[in-house]
A = this chain, B = another copy of it.
Amino acid sequence: MTKKQLKFVGQSVPRVDGIEKVTGKAKFTGDLLIPGMLHGKILRSPYPHARIIHIDISQAEALPGVVAVLTAADISDLDPYYNGRPLIAIQKVRYVGEPVAAVAAIDELTAHEALSLIKVDYEELPAAVGLAAALKKGARLIHENAANNICSHEHVEKGNVEQGFVESDEIFEDSFTFPMVYHYALEPHSAIAQVNDEGITVWSSAQHPFQVRGDIAKIFRVHPTKVRMIISFLGGGFGSKSYTKFEPLVVALARKAGSPVRICNSVTESMLTVRRHAAKVRLKTGIKSDGTLIAREAEIYIDTGGYADNGPQVAIRAATRVLGPYRIPHICSDAYAVYTNVGGAGSFRAIGAPQTIFASESQMDMIAAKLGMDPAELRRKNFLKKGEELRPKLRGMDANLASDLKKLVSASEWKKRSKKKGAAMGLACGATNAGATPISVAMVRLQPDGSLVAFAGSTEMGQGVRTVLSQIIADELSLPLEAIQIGGADTQVTPYDASTGSSRSTTLMGTAVLRAAHDLRSQLLKIGAEAFRVKPSQIQLVDGAMICGEMRLNFREAMERRFGGSGGELIGHGDVGPEITGTLPVFWEIGMGSAELDVDQETGEVRIKRYVSVADVGKAIHPEGCVGQEEGAAMMGIGHTMFEQMVYEEGGELLNPNLIDYRVPTFSHVPSEFHTVLVENEDGPGPHGARGMGEGGLVSVAPAVTNALARGFGIRIKDLPLTPERVWRALKDKEKGK
């Protein structure tokens, strides 16, 4: 790709979907109307663990307005399992809220009324609510083939950890816990399904349309191209809409009803559908007396709920992410996804990272404190250098960590402010090997009038992907932004994209659209070269035209030249595969943060008065968008650090499934001073040196805050969230010299 003047990339242009959004014209799945559409409701299990003895749907079916009632009896011809779960409970339920039956009716009220007419006989089974109960010796197995309720196990090893501990001067061993939290996207899960002779069409709030397509095709035994996923705007995702959620159930219901069916979850239902894995992390680290890390052993348990869902993937990430971005010669890390009788856990912005990095970055500060070293210096000393491998089979570090930390130290005025008397200031360095799968395909189509339509399967969920992709195309083709149209994913129309997740879209779909635009550019230059009788390399693209000396041919004219009249189109396509970096991860995502606190010692209430976040983005395609992502991520981190947690009673019921009882950050929690530093070394694998961002800002918050508490008040809290009670007790314990 030619190095060229950038007019749009690097500028905070107005969002291309801005007007639609602010005028309320943008359509979300729940806004759509499909002809003949029925409304569905789901009957959910009231028990955390039970056998289904019998379901009587006769009364529900008899209710006027009810068109279909779905149970496991209706899906015997299907291959009903995906992500380790059936599309509707088969013989057993494994969490409170598991779908047992579903009703399609002419309106929501009728569907709701019909639910109460379905009679289910259950035989209750002993339940294991939470990690401790599930791991207890002799605990009832939730899946018979999963001994000790272990769903999956990831083991990472390097060197000889026992030998490493022998060689160490000091050994630190600590345990940390992280709460169960919910994404709280404004839009709960919504889907509409239609099954007819043409195939299966699903309108859904899905971040991974092509993966959902694949699951539905497998379940319903049809070819993937006979499943059409159409994705409108999403009202936030954060991973909650990754992978397949309840779409197969909606399809099965629509199939039985013979009409399209829509189901929109309530917030409560969505909280029972997906959440972040609660975790327990034991971390043992051996060091030399100068602070050099020698060995680390980690043991991680994550609560994946009644079904595997994305638990195995989260465990895989957690086992590596707990290692931090540090050079450690001897490693032994084990992460276990554990079945429990609660709602399923899945992807959530930086999977497996906040839980483990909270542990490792807390312990780094404990080590620094013990050694009397500056925590920044301890980290700097142990950072992976650029290109250095964390462990075998993992691509080396692609960012300059020491330089990033220097920027954090400088922007946070660490040296001055952290030493002030009474200061409660902490920092943390998050780095995650992005899980971004390098498969994206894009297409751009130049219209006869010289305008362009871009086809990219990325889901716009507020992150601004349509704007970023438009900027990349605009610069490659020297087109004004207004000349570019870009829509949503439609698997029948937009080319294949692995997912919208893992901070991957700018890097991977960005590269695919850049390649597609470049392909189109080559076709244009060929037309220009013939017209001007020069070599393509002698032609410049400027504002929708080709220029060579005095000669000028705008794109419309080029099209007319190609096609001998008005009409035709030029198609450019681009794809990206594993060649982009050879080995994975495609990029490391770097987010470092520092926090300064105010603590009300009477109440234990913690307030973050100043937060500085450093994101090594390689290249900020849209700087304001990056800052927004970073600040949004930090606020989400503030949520799980300070007050968010889903509370389950022993009976398996979620006690706070709503915005009254489940607390999320509000504007009052925004730090008074809130700074983001974007590092742009143009060293990422994406367009113009960009790398993924938007998750990194999340992971450093909790350890930065708890480290600040430790430094300012001498209390080390290893369990989140930092409820006033917990902080107050820690302060009191310290006073008492405990």
Contacts and interface: CB of A to CB of B under 8 A. Distances in A.
Contacts of A448: 224, 496
A674 interface: no
A223 interface: yes
A493 B493 contact: yes
Interface stretch (A152-160, A247-255, A435-443, A723-731): A435-443
Interface string A215-253: 000000001110000000000000000000000000000
Interface stretch (A28-36, A263-271, A713-721): A28-36
Contact of A443 (B20, B440, B571): B571
Contact of A570 (B568, B571, B575): B575
Given A564-B438, A567-B439, A571-B573, A453 B33 contact: no
A7 B144 CA distance: 53
Nearest to A438: B564
Contacts of A210: 567
A565 B437 contact: yes
Contact of A577 (B438, B563, B571): B563
A12 interface: no
A198 B17 CA distance: 12
Interface string A466-503: 00000000000000000001000000110110100000
A382 interface: no
A223 B482 CA distance: 12
Copies of this chain in its oligomeric complex: 2
Given A25-B197, A570-B575, A445 B564 contact: no
Contact of A439 (B36, B214, B451, B568): B568
Nearest to A483: B223
A225 B451 contact: yes
B573 A573 contact: yes
A441 to B, nearest CB: 5
A225 B447 contact: yes
Given A33-B36, A493-B492, A577-B562, A453 B225 contact: yes
Contact of A568 (B25, B225, B496, B568): B496
Interface string A526-569: 00000000000000000000000000000000000011111111
Interface string A414-441: 0000000000000000000000011111
A34 B36 CA distance: 9
A372 interface: no
Contact of A564 (B37, B440, B485, B578): B578
Contact of A495 (B37, B439, B445): B445
A82 to B, nearest CB: 15
A124 B487 CA distance: 52
A170 interface: no
A449 interface: yes
A443 B566 CA distance: 20
Interface in A14-44: 20, 25, 27, 33-37
A448 B210 CA distance: 11
A565 B27 CA distance: 33
A62 to B, nearest CB: 28
Given A33-B36, A492-B493, A571-B573, A439 B225 contact: no
Contacts of A25: 197
Contacts of A563: 438-439, 575, 577-578
Interface in A100-125: none
Given A35-B35, A225-B485, A448-B496, A568 B562 contact: no
Given A36-B33, A493-B492, A577 B573 contact: no
Contact of A224 (B197, B447, B495): B447
24 contacts: A25-B197, A33-B36, A210-B567, A214-B566, A224-B448, A225-B447, A225-B451, A225-B485, A437-B565, A438-B563, A440-B568, A445-B495, A495-B571, A496-B568, A562-B575, A562-B577, A563-B577, A563-B578, A564-B577, A564-B578, A568-B575, A569-B575, A571-B571, A571-B573
Interface of A: 20, 25, 27, 33-37, 197-198, 210, 214, 223-225, 437-441, 443, 445, 447-449, 451, 453, 485, 492-493, 495-496, 498, 562-571, 573, 575, 577-578
Given A437-B565, A563-B577, A564-B577, 18 more contacts: A20-B197, A25-B197, A35-B37, A224-B447, A225-B453, A438-B563, A439-B565, A439-B568, A441-B568, A443-B571, A496-B569, A562-B575, A562-B577, A568-B575, A568-B577, A571-B571, A571-B573, A571-B575
